[in-house]
Amino acid sequence: MAEKRKILIVDDDSFLLDMYALKFSQNGFEVHTAQNGKDALGKLGSVTPEIILADIIMPEMDGFEMLEQISKENLAPQAVKIILSNKSEQGDVERGKSLGVAGYIIKANSTPQEVIEEVTGILNKKQ
């Protein structure tokens, strides 16, 4: 059997975090979660995810700051970074692209199943 794809989901909304964690694990992913950017950076020391799925608006360290830190410290260089947020202004999308984000998914427009399909689609393109 193929090795499970590791995903790190970063979101301060524990309800959404649990729901996405469950959905991704039901779809064959090995799921790791973090409540904010600082928590995620700490996990990257011991976990090497294939995908980092991150919200933008979080306490302590937002998603953009976290992505900047990840690239500055060259953490998880192979990981595909995808933003999952309700912030959908063009400027946010552009900032995500400038940080090397492979996809930008708007939470309000996507069911959990669509999020999984989109993440899988982005991953398959990368390989």
Nearest to 61 by CA among 87, 89, 41: 41
How far is Cα 84 from Cα 88, in angstroms, rounded to an integer? 10
Q: Which fold has domain 5-126?
A: Rossmann fold (3.40.50)
**Does the pTM of the predicted model rise above 0.85?**
yes
Both structure tokens of 22: 């469950």
Q: Decide if 37 contacts 63 (C-beta within 8 A).
A: yes
Q: What would the pLDDT profile of 5-61 be if each residue is shown by its tens digit?
A: 999 999 999 999 999 999 999 999 999 999 999 999 999 989 999 999 999 999 999
